[in-house]
A and B are shown apart, each in its own frame.
Chain A
Amino acid sequence: MINEEFMQEFIEEAFANLEDYETALLKLFKGDHNSELLNSAFRAVHSIKGTAGFFALSNIVKLAHTMENLLGEIRDGKRPMSILAIEKCLFGCDVLRQLVADASNSNDVDITDTISGILNMDADIPSQEQLKHDPTPQPINDEPIVLSTPFPGVDLFVDLDELEAIDSSLPFNNVEMTDDVDTFEENQSELNHDKSAKPVSNEPKAVQTTEESVRVNVALLNTLLDLAGEMVLARNQLLKTLESVQKTIPGLQGVLQNIDSITTELQEQIMRTRMQPVSRVFNKFPRILRELARMTKKEVHLELDGSDVELDKSLIEALVDPLTHLVRNAVDHGVELPDERLIAGKGKIGHLKMKAYHEGDHVSIDITDDGRGIDVVKIKQKAISKGLIRQAEAVHMTEDDILQLIFFPGFSTAAEVSDISGRGVGMDVVKTNIEKMGGTINIFTKVGKGTTFRLNLPLTLAIIPSLIVGVQGQKFVLPQVYLQEMLRIKKNDTSRKLEKVKQAWMLRLRGKLLPIIHLADVLGIRHQSLEKDEKVHRVLVLNLGTRQFGLVVDQIFQREEILVKPLPKYLRFFKCYFGVTIQGDGKTAMILDPEGICNTAKLRFHEQAEADKNIVEEVKLDQQNILICSAGNSGKFGIDLAQVSRVEKIKSSAIEHIGGEEVISYRGDLLKVIRPDVLYPIGLPNQLPDHVYMVLPKFVSCPTGILMTNIHDTIVSTVQFTSDPHQHRGMVGTAILRNDPIQMIDLLSFMKHVQPERTSMPEISEFAYGKKILMVEDTPYYSRILSTHLKEAGFKVQLESDGKRALKKWNSETFDAIICDDLLPGINGIELLRESKERDRNGTTFRMLISMRMNAQITEECHQIGGIQTLYKGNWEHLFGFLNQWFELRAGVNHAR
């Protein structure tokens, strides 16, 4: 049994499509040869075919298919676009229209002649006369179907097509039209009845229905809405102006009151024109649910409640996808298989309820299932194993917080990915979509009992709650969804004050530093507004996902529900704004876009990246083998053993003085002793202990040793540098290892400073000088040390620690070389290099993968991508040789040309 309502929608849609089709063909007929016209005609029949197939209207499908083929052939140039061909298409259109008009009986009409008529290009179109006398089998009616005379239904439907209000796809139980629909349905049943009883009459029925409603353009309705709003403003002004004289003019008060109430009523009614019942979306679900139940082999009963609750048209449209997703989830994950249900002591049949209802100034929609519920513990484990949260965090999370995790991108608890759900995409999209509408989503769940998802939606999309703020006397609108809290920072309050580091202002908020910017500065109204000596700073704490910042404004006015108007196209290049609104006083005000403000103020958030990194880093960050040593009272030094060729213990008496230099004879050569105090103020004792240590660096041309008095340990660890910016020459930075501050020495840099002539590092070639390198490395030690040396050597280096961001940068700028680590947050190095190839088809860039775990598999992978060099990270000093060679070679190629 075909759902009547769906059928109606199909018929309306098909008529609209046929109209498009006809218009396009008629234009072609007039000689307007345009492939777009053909395409639009093609699309029109195609969509009729598609939907008709859905209802198993085989004749309509057949005919539409034939027409589609014909058009396709014309489009592909297999058939000439002759007048005859177009006439045939038009003829097909007429027949199709008649079939569609009485769609439910269309399968009983014989259309073989029509189809062969269309297909047979040589023959003329079967004349309407011929058709008329064609004996067409008609089981309901012995009267042959007279194709040249439209069915009574045709007129009826055409009328309805004209009268259906607002939207062509409105279902017929629309509130405004209820009366007509009743009449219509009566007529329809009467009509069906008629058909079986007596010959079809030509008298159009239900003509009276046309008077009740008219089709109105949505744009016109919007204009009316605007005007009604203006009317309200004008009324307010009028009332205010006449307030003082109200009593002096007899009768004025009554008139004003009248105008007042009429205006309010007018606005309310016009608002209503955009409202549509939730049944518009709800009615799609019985079908969807049947399909789902069949696919999952579950039995689910659907209950719909509150179908007549009305929402703004645009909201209704935007609800389809989120609701579908929630229903799918409920059936796939929520409701158990019949057997499981029986074991759990529930009925075999699962229940799903969708309920819409008004609550305060918004509408709520509940999607409730009586399935297995959401297991909070399971979610927690899953989130930890997926690295979304850390174990330590999970302990402090409330049940609600944990439930919110299912809205994280990439989260799915389904053990297996099914056709229906479980890919982990979706819930985050649902949440985003609902929030985009200005709504929220809540979850209520009980293990074993079921789950309810509650969507809270505003009545209309165009009105958003917001805060009016002021800067330099001008008002701006801030959408309230972004607002987390408002703070008043008083001038003399020592417990809470704005603090300044370099040029940046910040505020301590619950133990974290919150970046603070002033709206006036961002918008360019003033400069350095925060420097001004204000008694009170008003800080709005804004939340953008995980990012948070404080926006300072001069004034905070009231909260207000504002009507959003889209930004004029002239302003769309100005990212700080999101829209315009017209305020109560009739002036326009700009709606602020925190995202744009964030970008304009160049706030670079790494919180998220940092959080991501922390999770991943524990696994991914490379570890260094570090020699911990000291010289005198130096404090501890750390040296990467990858830079050390040997450590020798020697007697201090073996140190000789030759030509003002300290040397030791070492393996038949002279080893030059360098005391670290040449570079660092460490105060080495004059009297050395009996035994000292020589640290022999790599990359020296003749034996050199750095003198250390103590060797404490070697540690394998990830070096995380402290933020201490103070750096000695030859140092990479300070790290905390085993609770000790360790000054990390970079032996190469050290040697360059102390004994440049002994350093065996190749000079950078003139061809490589000044080349631009994208260095992608997340391990702090290597990223520091490599970028420092590359920069010192004369390369221009851009550093990136995240694979995805690196790729973005790579695609937006031009680089001469890319060097990346293999394990990276975002996407890994090999992927990054593979992607980077896209921009480098002729292989002009130097591309290299550096890794701590260089093995055959990695080199093989790189080989397969092609053009990628590989280097063991411990030997990173060879990088310069590689770079020199590459750029010299390229220069050579160019010379040859």
Chain B
Amino acid sequence: MRGKVLTFYIDDALYGVPINTVKEIDRQFEYTPVPGTPEFFVGLMNMRGQVVSLFDMANLINGTRSTKKKKLSCMILRNSQQDPDYLGLIIDRPGAVIDIDDDMCEPCPANMDLSDQAFISEIVKLNDTLLLIVDPYKVCEEMEQFAN
């Protein structure tokens, strides 16, 4: 892909999503857990009268739990007419906005585990590090799998 990417950190690794998918980042957020849901579903949050479903990205990507850490941030993604439900991702901290270009991107290399690839749509080769582009909308499938 090419365009602006908002980066963020989870367990000290760098991830990113296209900036136009992000609505806002909240450093203070309160949520209500929902019993019976998987560990990676943190709970629901009230964003000025809108209900946001919060997901723990660290849990989804690394299997760790970030809700025990302090000073987390919550990245809320834009909704759309077709998909009016707000999705929020719990991240360690936001990074920066960077420009990327097609030639910097590559699909996941062959030796990466399929389960690790689930949420990674692309890998961006930055000068000093690798940036993993996340596809957060896969969470819906994860929820369905869990429920069944």
Contacts and interface: CB of A to CB of B under 8 A. Distances in A.
Interface of A: 226-227, 229-230, 471, 474, 523-525, 565, 568-571, 573-574, 576-577, 580, 582, 586-590
B139 interface: yes
Given A569-B140, A573-B143, A582-B51, A588 B46 contact: yes
A496 B35 CA distance: 31
17 contacts: A226-B50, A565-B51, A568-B44, A568-B85, A569-B83, A570-B87, A570-B140, A570-B143, A571-B34, A573-B148, A574-B36, A577-B34, A586-B46, A587-B30, A587-B32, A588-B31, A590-B32
Q: Looking at chain B's contact residues, is the secondary structure mostly helix, strand, loop, or mixed?
A: mixed
B126 interface: no
B44 A227 contact: no
Contact of B35 (A230, A523, A582): A523
B113 interface: no
Contacts of B36: 523-524, 574, 576
A230 B48 contact: yes
A229 B41 contact: no
A580 B139 CA distance: 20
Given A570-B41, A587-B30, A226 B49 contact: yes
B99 interface: no
B45 interface: yes
B147 interface: yes
Contacts of A229: 49
A587 B37 contact: no
Given A226-B48, A471-B35, A588-B43, 5 more contacts: A226-B49, A568-B86, A570-B55, A571-B143, A588-B45
A587 B51 CA distance: 10
Contacts of A587: 30, 32, 46
A257 B139 CA distance: 46
Contacts of A582: 46, 49, 51
Contacts of A525: 35
Contacts of A524: 35-36
Contacts of A227: 48-49
A574 B37 contact: yes
B35 A588 contact: no
Nearest to B30: A587
Interface in B113-143: 139-140, 143
B49 A571 contact: no
Nearest to A230: B49
What band does the interface of chain B fall in when counting residues whose beta carbon is under 8 Å from A?
Answer: 20 to 34
Given A523-B35, A576-B36, A580-B44, A588 B51 contact: yes
B14 to A, nearest CB: 26
A576 B35 CA distance: 10
Nearest to B51: A580
Nearest to B45: A588
Nearest to B139: A570
B29 to A, nearest CB: 11
Contacts of B35: 471, 474, 523-525
Interface centre among B32, B34, B43, by most chain A C-beta atoms within 10 angstroms, is B34
Contact of B32 (A565, A568, A576, A588): A588
B33 interface: yes
Nearest to A526: B35
B143 A589 contact: no
A793 B25 CA distance: 66
Contacts, number: 71
A590 B36 CA distance: 12
Contacts of B103: none
B7 interface: no
Contacts of A589: 32
A577 B33 CA distance: 13
B144 interface: yes
B51 A568 contact: yes
B66 interface: no
A573 B144 contact: yes
Contacts of B83: 569
A692 B53 CA distance: 80
A568 B53 contact: yes
B48 A569 contact: no
Nearest to B146: A573
A866 to B, nearest CB: 37
Interface centre among B36, B49, B139, B147, by most chain A C-beta atoms within 10 angstroms, is B49
A474 B143 CA distance: 22
Contacts of B37: 571, 574
Contacts of B46: 582, 586-588
Contacts of A570: 41, 53, 55, 85, 87, 139-140, 143
Nearest to A234: B48
A524 B32 CA distance: 16
A570 B36 CA distance: 13
B128 to A, nearest CB: 35
A576 B55 CA distance: 20
Interface centre among B33, B86, B143, by most chain A C-beta atoms within 10 angstroms, is B143
A574 B50 CA distance: 20
A587 B45 CA distance: 7
Nearest to B143: A570
Contacts of A586: 30, 46
A573 to B, nearest CB: 3
B34 A574 contact: yes
Contacts of A580: 44, 51
A565 B50 CA distance: 9
Nearest to A227: B49
Contacts of B48: 226-227, 230
A574 B36 CA distance: 8
A570 B55 CA distance: 10
A659 B28 CA distance: 93
Contact of A590 (B34, B85, B86, B140): B34
A571 B53 contact: yes
Contacts of B53: 568, 570-571
A586 B30 CA distance: 9
B45 to A, nearest CB: 7
Contacts of B34: 571, 574, 577, 590
Interchain residue pairs A-B with the least CB separation, the first 8: A573-B147, A226-B49, A523-B35, A230-B49, A568-B85, A588-B44, A570-B53, A568-B53
A571 B54 CA distance: 11
Nearest to B49: A226
A804 B96 CA distance: 61
